[in-house]
Structure 1
Amino acid sequence: MYPSREQVTLLMRHIHACRFVYNNSLEQKIRAYEQEGRKLSCFDLNNRLPALKEEHPWLKEVNSQSLQSANKNLDNAFTRFFREKKGFPRFKSKKNPVQSFQVPQHYRVNFKQRKIKFPKIGEFKTVFHRVFTGKMKYATVSVTSTKKWFVSILVDDGVAEPAPAPFSLDTTIGIDVGLKDFATLSTGEKIENPHYMKTSLQRLKVLQRMVSRKKKGSKNREKAIQRLARCHEKTANQRNDFLHKLSFRVVSENQAIAVESLNVGGMMKNHHLAQGIGDVSWSMFFTMLEYKCQRYGKTLLKIGRFDPSSKICSNCGYLKQDLALSDREWICPDCGTHHDRDINAAINIKKFALQEQNLVGVSGAERTVEPVDSPQ
C-alpha cells in the first residue's frame, strides 16, 4: 500500500492502539488470575473496552473492531499456550520489526481502480499481488522497519484442498539438509548454500557501527537505522526468494517428499553453528514444503530425528558407528560401496519414510537399534 502522510499517521495510531489494548488485556488477565483466581474470556475483555476508551479518549479515533481483534488474538494466544504448549503470551513491543493490526470487516477492495478502503482511515493506492474471488474474512495491515506498508487479506474461495496423489518409490524424493550444501536430494543432486547472511555480514557490521556512533534521538541516527534495516530486509528477501523457488520446484517435480525432523531450536544453542543454522532457515523451508504439499495435493513424509541416516549403508544396511562429522565420504566394509555422506543420508531418509508407509518394493537399509557391525 502507498498511504499519504496523513494516512500514515492514522495507520500508526491504529497500530499503537491495538498494541496498547493487547498489552492492557494481557495485564488484566494475569492480574485477575493471580489475585482472584479467575480467567477473563475474550467477551469479558471486550466489555471492558468502553471504560478503557473513557480513560484513554484517543482510542475512540480507532476502529472499534480492530481493538476487539486485538483481544481475540490474545485469546487465541492463550489457547495455543494451553493446547499446543506454544509458549506463554508476551507483551508486544513498539520496537518489533513488523507492526500490524487487523480489520475484520467493512473494508472494500477495488481491483479496477487499484484501491482499498478501510473504515476511519480512507482509501489507499494498492498494488495487488493477484485478483481473488470469494468471501473476504479479515485484512491484516502491517508495516516493516523500512516503512513499507502491506495488507494481507484472508479469503474463503470455497475450494476444497485436493486429495493427496498416490506415490511410489520412483515418485518420492528424499532431502537431507546441511550447512555446506543447503540440501542434498536422493537423486544425487546437491543444492548449493547461497550464504546470504555471510555475504552481507561485513556490510551489516559497518552499518551497525554507524548506528552506534550516532547520538541517540538524532535524525542522523534514524537515517542510519533505516540503512541498516534495508540491508537486513534485502538479505531476508533474498533468502525467502531462494526458499520459495526451491520448495516450489521440489513439490512440483515429485508426488511425495521425505525429510528428517530436526530440533532446530536445540541446534541453535551451539554458538559455533548458530549463525550458519539461522542463515539457512531450515524451519522455514520445511514450513513451505508442508503448506505447498497441502495446496497441490502432494505428501510430506517425516522421519524421526534420531535415525542415523548418514551412518547406515543405503545398499546393505551396515551401521558405521565411528563415522565422524568431518568424514564426508566413506566405504562400506561389508559391500564395498563408496558413499557420499549427504547423498547416502538422503537415500536413507527416503527409504525410512517409505518403510513407515509399508510401501511394497522398498528394500535396502533397515533401521536398527543395536549395532549391526560384522564381527571382527
Structure 2
Amino acid sequence: MARFATFRFCLDPTGEQEIMLRRHAGAARFGFNQCLRLVKDAVDGMRRGETVGKVPWSGFDLINAFNRWKRSGEAGRVMVAAGDGTVTVQVTGLSWRGEVCQQVFEEAVVDLGRGLSAYTASRTGGRRGRRVGFPRFKSKRHAPLSFRIRNRTSATGRASIRVGEQAPRTVTLPGIGVLKVRQDTRRLRRMLAKGRAKVVSATVSHRAGRWSVSLTCEAADLHDARRHQPMTSAGWVGVDRGLSTFVAAARADGTPVLRVDGWPRPARTEMARQRRLARDVTRKQRGSRNRAKAAARLGRHHAHTAAVRHRFLHQVCNRLVNTHDRLAIETLTISGMLANRRLAAAVADAAWGELARLLTYKQQWRGGQLALVDRWYPSTKTCSACRTVGPAMPLHQRMFTCQTCGYQADRDHNAAVNLAIWAEQHHAQVRDLPAGGPVTNTRRGEGTGPRTRAGETSPDDAGTAPTPPGVRRGRPRRALSHHSTKW
C-alpha cells in the first residue's frame, strides 16, 4: 500500500435511513461542541485561579475527557421516587449515546484536537500561511451535516465498512446499515477483492440536498502498464495556464503538445441564473420556509457549477498526465491576482490552484516528475528562440514578437516553450513528489571538513555539523504549554 485514494458515491437513502444519517451528523456536532466547551471551561477556571488539572488539548486527551463526561451526572440524571416517599438522584449519563455509532464522537473530537494543534502552531510560528484562529462552536442551522466513521475489522476478519455486500451498488456502514448508491462500485470492489485496496474510513456529508459518502482507501501503486516508463528522449513539457487559452503545453524544441481554448467558464456562463436565484433568496422573508427553499435552489446551483469545473479540470489533467512523464508549471501567486478587481472573477473561475494540485498527485501516482518554475521567471516576455527578455506585454497582445531576432509566436505557446526550457536547465531542482519538496544535494556526513566536490553542500552549510559544547544554534523557541495559551 503506497497511496491514498478516495472514492465518492452519491447515496440514495430511505426515509428511515436519512433520519439515522441526520442523527449521526448531529451527534458529531454535539461531540465537537461539548469538547470545545470542556476546553473553554477549563481555561476559564485556570484564569480564575481554580485547580482544574490538565487542560485537554490533544485528540487523545479530549476523547478521554468526553468519555468521562458522557457517563457523569452532568450529561444526564433522573430523579427516582420510592414508595416510601424518598427521592434519589440516579446518574444516567448521555442517555442517547447508544443510538449512534461511538466512532462518530471520537472522530469529531479528533477534528477538534487538530484545530487546537493548528491554532497553537500558528501562534508559535510552527505553521506557515494565514494565522489560524481558535475553534468555534458549530451551529445547528448553518454548519454542514457531516460525520466520519473508521473501518474496523472483527476477530473473524469482517470489515465494518463493506462495499457491494448485498447488491453491487450498496455501501454498508456500522450503526446505519446498507445504503444504496447511484454510481457503479465495480472498480472499488475489484480492488478490494484482489487486496489492492483497504478502506480506512468513510465520510458521509450532505451538500446541496444530496447525501454522499467518501471512502478513503489505502491503495497499492498503479500497475506497471499504467505508470510512466523512462523516456529520456521526449524531454520536458511546459504547461502555461491562462484565461484566454486555458492550457498551452509545448516542448523545449517548440513542438506543441496540447492547447485548450474553449474552456467552459462555468461561473460566468451561469452568472445570470445565479443572480436570479440570489434575488429570490433576498426577496423572501427571513426565517420562512420559502426562503429556505430558495436558498436550497441557490446551493444546488453552486454545487452544479463546481461539479462542471471539477470534471473539466480532471479531463485536462488526465490528458497531460497520461501521455507525458515530465511536466513543468509555474508557481503563480493566485491570492495576489485575486486582488485585481478586473481579473478576480476570471481567475477564480479558472481554478489554477486546483489544476496544479491535481497534476501533482496524478504525476506522483504514475511515477512522473513535476517541475515548479520560479514565479519570477519571465516566461511570457522571453524569446524562446534567442532567449532575449523583452518589455512587459499587455494582456490584449496575444502574439509575441521578438525585437532582436524577429521571432513571432502565440504568447501562450512561447511561454510554454520557455517553461520547458527552464525545466531542462534546472532539472536538479525538480520537486520530489513523495517528499513534498525540492530535491537537494545535501551531504549528511558526520564531522566537519571541506567540500568533496564542486557544488556539494558541506555539513556547515546544511546545518548538520556537530555543535560545539556551550553553543546554541538557531533562534531559541519559547515553550508554550497548554496552560499558558492565551487568546
Question: Which residue does the alignment assign to 2:417?
Answer: 347
Say if 1:115 and 1:124, in contact at 8 Å, map to a contact too: yes
Structure 1, unpaired ranges of 5+: 360-376
User: For the residues of structure 2 that align with 1:177 and 1:218, how far apart are their CA atoms?
Assistant: 45
- Alignment partner of 1:323 is 2:386: no
- Alignment partner of 1:177 is 2:241: yes
Displacement of 1:59: 4.5
User: For the residues of structure 2 that align with 1:336 and 1:357, how far apart are their CA atoms?
Assistant: 29
1:18 to 9, 13, 28: 28
Displacement of 1:39: 6.3
Greater helix content: 1
Deviations 1:173-193 (A, max 9, x none): 111111122112224443123
Aligned counterparts, 1:94-113, within 5 A: 94=140, 98-106=144-152, 107-111=160-164, 112-113=166-167
Say if 2:274 and 2:298, in contact at 8 Å, map to a contact too: yes
The 10-residue stretch of structure 1 (304-313 or 183-192) with the greater mean CA deviation from structure 2: 183-192
1:123 to 178, 195, 198: 178
Secondary structure in 1 matching 2:246: strand
Say if 1:46 and 1:71, in contact at 8 Å, map to a contact too: yes
- Alignment partner of 1:248 is 2:303: no
- Alignment partner of 1:88 is 2:126: no
User: For the residues of structure 1 that align with 2:336 and 2:109, how far apart are their CA atoms?
Assistant: 32
Aligned counterparts, 1:305-320, within 5 A: 305-320=375-390
The 10-residue stretch of structure 1 (193-202 or 42-51) with the greater mean CA deviation from structure 2: 42-51
Say if 1:97 and 1:144, in contact at 8 Å, map to a contact too: no
Displacement of 1:340: 2.0
- Alignment partner of 1:190 is 2:262: no
The 10-residue stretch of structure 1 (245-254 or 57-66) with the greater mean CA deviation from structure 2: 57-66
Partner AA of 1:21 in structure 2: G
1:139 to 181, 194, 202: 202
User: For the residues of structure 2 that align with 1:194 and 1:160, how far apart are their CA atoms?
Assistant: 31
The 10-residue stretch of structure 1 (78-87 or 225-234) with the greater mean CA deviation from structure 2: 78-87
- Alignment partner of 1:289 is 2:352: no
The 10-residue stretch of structure 1 (14-23 or 136-145) with the greater mean CA deviation from structure 2: 14-23
User: For the residues of structure 1 that align with 2:30 and 2:275, how far apart are their CA atoms?
Assistant: 34
- Alignment partner of 1:148 is 2:217: no
User: For the residues of structure 2 that align with 1:30 and 1:176, how far apart are their CA atoms?
Assistant: 49
Displacement of 1:335: 1.2
Bigger CA radius of gyration: 2
Say if 1:161 and 1:295, in contact at 8 Å, map to a contact too: no
Say if 1:169 and 1:354, in contact at 8 Å, map to a contact too: no
2:332 to 262, 266, 269: 262
User: How many pairs were matched up?
Assistant: 358
The 10-residue stretch of structure 1 (87-96 or 263-272) with the greater mean CA deviation from structure 2: 87-96
Structure 2, unpaired ranges of 5+: 1-10, 48-53, 76-93, 153-159, 430-487
Question: Which residue does the alignment assign to 1:372?
Answer: none
Say if 1:167 and 1:256, in contact at 8 Å, map to a contact too: no
- Identical aligned pairs, as a percentage? 32
Secondary structure in 2 matching 1:11: helix
User: For the residues of structure 1 that align with 2:392 and 2:428, how far apart are their CA atoms?
Assistant: 30
Secondary structure in 2 matching 1:135: strand
Displacement of 1:154: 2.1
Question: Which residue does the alignment assign to 1:69?
Answer: 107
Deviations 1:254-301 (A, max 9, x none): 111110011212222222222111111111111111111111122111
Say if 2:39 and 2:57, in contact at 8 Å, map to a contact too: yes
Question: Which residue does the alignment assign to 2:5?
Answer: none
Aligned counterparts, 1:229-248, within 5 A: 229-248=299-318
Secondary structure in 2 matching 1:327: coil
Secondary structure in 2 matching 1:326: coil
Change in Cα spacing, 1:306 to 1:161, as seen in structure 2 (3 Å) is farther
Question: Which residue does the alignment assign to 1:374?
Answer: none
Partner AA of 2:365 in structure 1: R
User: For the residues of structure 2 that align with 1:78 and 1:297, how far apart are their CA atoms?
Assistant: 36
Question: Which residue does the alignment assign to 2:64?
Answer: 47
Change in Cα spacing, 1:322 to 1:236, as seen in structure 2 (3 Å) is closer
Change in Cα spacing, 1:30 to 1:319, as seen in structure 2 (3 Å) is farther
User: For the residues of structure 2 that align with 1:16 and 1:353, how far apart are their CA atoms?
Assistant: 51
TM-score, scaled to structure 2 = 0.67
Secondary structure in 2 matching 1:301: strand
CA RMSD after TM alignment: 2.8
